[in-house]
Amino acid sequence: MPTFEPMQRILPLVFLLFSIAYGQTVVPFRDFNNFFLSYENGGFKTIEIQPVKDYQAGDELVAYIDTRGNLRLYDGRQRKDITNLNVEYQVSDHLLGYMIGPTLNMWDKGRLQTLTYFGRKFLVKDSLIVYEDTRFNTLNVYWKKNTMSLATIIGELSIPTTVGENILVFKDNGNLFKVFQDGMIYEICAWNGTIDFQLGTDIICFNDPTTRTFVAFEHGEFIDVENQFMRKYKAGRGFIVYEDLNSNLWLYKNGEKTLLTNFISSFWDVKDDVVIWGENNYLFTYVNDEKIQVANFIPNTWEIKNNTIAYRNIMGGVSAMVNGVNHEITLLADSEFKIYGNSVLVKLFNNSHLVLSDGKVISN
């Protein structure tokens, strides 16, 4: 049962429409002139002419330290000065968190806010910021423009290691595991030892030591997916993938189980909307309820994010599958690559760049 009432989640329709239109993907990089650029809307835009010292980027924003040591932010619409003081900062796809001494601040869709003047460690994820408040020795969370205390800790504060994009698991003083989701807290179980929780977006999975079953948590409910422990498991965006004791690979989503493969997979991984696995020296994925071959070999380098799989192709260049469609970006060997949104940024050996976006490859 939840331990407190949900926070207000009904927002005006106008604000929702503005929020949807506000965010757009940025694809930041330093070019061969050391200019700081971003690819967006079919072209390249200069963010800074002077060299930047450091930057962190998500799908909708990039935060960076400019040549004078100032923290700045670019969200695909405008550049904003955040502070000219020394900061520790973190960026997710949607949020920026930064500390000036013990003061923890954040940025959320153009809105700046101070979370605490007594902060210490913090962690920024897509929809939440988890942080320690030393004033009352509490573990707190920022979520949907609201802050709340998760627990008052007796002894040493510690950021949970089990934090998903919009969901987290923490332990209170009585060894009681709890989960925070959608502004509410649910009790999991009391256990003196550790539990391997795998968190994604909107869903958690774990082997429950009290019931000896494999459990998924979503929409405020705990569901026994299997009546025994599973060997390995991971969570994505609204689904989980797990390997049973016979090495079969399963996908669980919306209450239904799907067998992905009954071959022993050489490897498999999950992130956001993507699951990939190796089978008979081929690379596969599962898109729109269909098993799809990504490549007729196992790449030695790959990255997955959102609906995109980027990988080293057979020639040593870079290819990508976006929403189930394969694209060859370059055959040039030793190219570096990274995913922003569903765009793939490729850095070539001569420090020029290619971007795969909307099925087209664009060069700067």
Residue 174: pLDDT band (50, 70, 90) is: confident
Q: Are 153 and 173 in contact (CB under 8 A)?
A: yes
Q: CA dist 147 to 104, 123, 133, 139, 256, Å?
A: 12, 14, 12, 11, 35
Q: How far is CA 170 from CA 139, 201, 219, in A?
A: 9, 16, 18
Q: How confident is the model at residue 25 (pLDDT cuts 50, 70, 90)?
A: confident
Averaged over 66-77, what is the pLDDT?
95
Q: Give the predicted TM-score (pTM) of the model.
A: 0.89
What's the full length of the chain, in residues? 364
Average pLDDT over residues 225-251: 97
- With a cut of 50, say whether residue 261 has pLDDT above it: yes
What's residue 159's pLDDT? 87
Q: What are phi and psi of 21, to 5 degrees?
A: -80, -20
Is the predicted pLDDT of residue 70 greater than 70, yes or no?
yes
